[in-house]
Structure 1
Amino acid sequence: MKRVIIAGMGPGSKSCITEEVKAAIDNAEIIIGSKRLIEEYPDKKTFYAVTADNIVSIIEQEEAQEYVVLMSGDTGFYSGTRKLADALEGKYEYRILPGISSVIYFAARIGKPWENAAFVSVHGKKQSYIPVVLQNEMTYFLTQGNVSQICKQLQSVGLSKAHVWIGENLSYENEKISSGEVSEFTEYESAGLTVMAVYNDYSHTFTITGIPDSYFIRSDVPMTKREIRASVISRMAVRKNSCVYDIGAGTGSVSVELALHAPYGTVYAVERTEEGCSLIARNAEKFGLNNIEIIHGNAADVIDNLPVPDEVFIGGSGGESEYIFDSILRKNPNVHVVATAVTLETLQDMISLMEKNNMSVLDIVQIAVTQIKKTGRYHMMSANNPVFIIEGRRMQ
Structure 2
Amino acid sequence: MQVIVAGAGPGALAFYTEHTLAAIRSADLVLTAQRLAAPLSAIAGNVKVMGVMDTIAYLNEHAEKEEKVCVVASGDTGFYSIARTIADRVDPNISVSFACGIGSLSYFAAKLKIGYEQMKLVSLHGRESSIVPHVCYNESVFALTGGTIKAADVIQQLLKSGLTAVRVHVGEHLSSAQERIVSGTPTELENIQFDDLAVVVVENKDYVNRHKTLKDSDFIRGKSPMTKEAVRNLSLAALEIEPQDIVYDIGAGTGSVTCAMAYRASESMVYAVEKNPEAVDLVKENMAATGARNIEIRCALAPDSLAEFPPADKVFIGGSTGNLREIMEAVLQRNPEAVFVVTAVTLETITQAVGVFAALSMETETICANISAAQKLGNYHLMKAENPVYIIKGAKQLEH
For this structure pair, what is the TM-score category when the shorter chain's length is used for normalisation? 0.7 to 0.9
Tell me which residue corresponds to 1:347.
350
**Is 1:147–1:186's contact at 8 Å kept on the other side of the alignment?**
no
Does the Cα contact within 8 Å between 1:7 and 1:96 map onto a contact in 2? yes
Q: Is the 8 A contact 2:151 2:196 kept in 1?
A: no
Aligned to 2:191: 187
Q: Could you tell me the TM-score, scaled by structure 1's length? A: 0.72
Matched, 1:48 2:46: no
Q: Which residue of 1 aligns with 2:74?
A: 72
Q: Is the Cα contact below 8 Å between 1:367 and 1:388 reproduced in 2?
A: no
Q: Among all aligned residue pairs of Structure 1 and Structure 2, give the percentage whose two residues are the same amino acid.
A: 30
| 1:232 paired to 2:231 | no
Counterpart amino acid of residue 243 in structure 2: K
Contact 2:364–2:392, Cα closer than 8 Å, also in 1: no
Structure 1 unaligned residues grouped into runs of 5+: 372-382
- Report the equivalent of 2:265: 262
Q: Which residues in structure 2 correspond to 1:1-396 (within 5 Å)?
A: 2-42=1-41, 43-51=44-52, 53-62=53-62, 65-88=67-90, 90=92, 92-144=94-146, 146-155=150-159, 157-204=161-208, 210=214, 214=220, 225=227, 227=229, 229-244=232-247, 246=249, 254=257, 258=261, 261-262=264-265, 289=294, 310-317=313-320, 336-350=339-353, 359=363, 361=365, 363-366=367-370, 387-391=389-393, 394-396=398-400
264 and 344 in structure 1: CA distance in 2 versus 1, 3 angstrom threshold: same
Structure 2 distance, partners of 1:310, 1:171, is 42
Q: Taking structure 2 as the reference length, what is the TM-score of the superposition?
A: 0.72
Q: Give the Å deviation of 1:35.
A: 0.1
Secondary structure in 1 matching 2:79: coil
Q: Which moved more, 1:21-30 or 1:118-127?
A: 118-127
Cα deviation digits, residues 205-244 of structure 1 (max 9, x gap) = 77886495549xx9x9x77547354543343221123354
Residues of 2 paired with 1:245 and 1:179: CA distance?
35
CA contact 2:226–2:256 (8 Å) conserved in 1: yes
Deviations 1:125-144 (A, max 9, x none): 22221221122112222234
Distance 2:40 2:333 in 1: 55
Match for residue 375 of structure 1?
Answer: none
Give me the CA root mean square deviation. Answer: 4.7
SS state at 2:200 partner: strand
Structure 2 gaps of 5+ residues are 376-384
Corresponding residue pairs, total: 376
Alpha-carbon separation, structure 2, partners of 1:370 and 1:183: 48
Amino acid aligned to 1:108:
A
Q: 1:369 to 1:77 in 2, by over 3 A?
A: farther
The answer (yes or no) to whether the contact 1:342–1:387 under 8 Å persists in 2 is yes
How many Å apart are 1:33 and its aligned residue? 2.2
Shift of 1:112: 0.9
Structure 1 residue 157 displacement after superposition = 4.6
What is the CA–CA distance in structure 2 between the aligned matches of 1:384 and 1:336, rounded to whole Å? Answer: 27
Distance between the aligned counterparts of 1:255 and 1:89, measured in 2? 48
Secondary structure of residue in 1 paired with 2:40: coil
The answer to whether the 8 A contact 1:117-1:140 is kept is: yes
Q: CA deviation at 1:106?
A: 1.0
Distance 1:370-1:185 versus aligned 2 partners, 3 A rule: farther
* Secondary structure of the structure 2 residue equivalent to 1:39: helix
